Amino acid sequence: MTKQERATFVINTLKDYYPEIPIPLDHKDPYTLLIAVLLSAQCTDVRVNQITPILFAKADNPYDMVKLSVEEIKEIIKPCGLSPMKSKGIYGLSKILIEEHNGAVPQSFDALERLPAVGHKTASVVMSQAFGVPAFPVDTHIHRLMYRWNLSNGKSVQQTEKDAKAIFPRELWNDLHLQIIWYGREYSPARGWNLEKDIITKTIGRKSVLNEYLKKTSRSV
């Protein structure tokens, strides 16, 4: 298969698997999505979805958030990890949203990436899921699968994003990045991977990845 044929196979298979695409992080508007995505760095979405209702019960908008101290925010979000950095980021970005954006989340990559603790991936998720702007946020699942599927060389998340945008149609980016995340979690995880259940990698996988998998499984038999 050519690279384009592999990409088409991925698109068609994921469409079959995920005709309806759930959003992993619970939120009700761009602000709560922004906070949830920020909290998800090095933390599972399940854990974030357990913590955000507690935080949002106290503050689900920037005006209420700045009424809390950094320390209070830190205590609430501690189970998500990196709480010193994340709490300062949440407080700081809320203050900037009030002072510079009338309390609203800006609808541009540049403005989002200038906010404290907001990197390119977080900005991409917000632009994609809150505002419907085509973006391709790359998380660990997408990075892993783009390499396994021989659609990117796996050298960096920046390169993976560039390769994904080059090979997949722009109008599908917002759906595909979520579909690949769900597929990676369910069928092609980093640990406990069963190739028999992973139809995409089994069909179009990088030869070196498949050979390594077969070597490992034959050693463990």
Catalytic residues: 121, 139
DSSP code of residue 114? T
Within 59-139, residue ranges assigned H as helices are 62-65, 70-77, 83-101, 109-113, 120-129
Which residue shows structure tokens 């190739």? 195
Q: Is the dihedral of CA 174, 51, 69, 65 positive or negative?
A: positive
DSSP states of 199-212: HHHHHH--HHHHHH
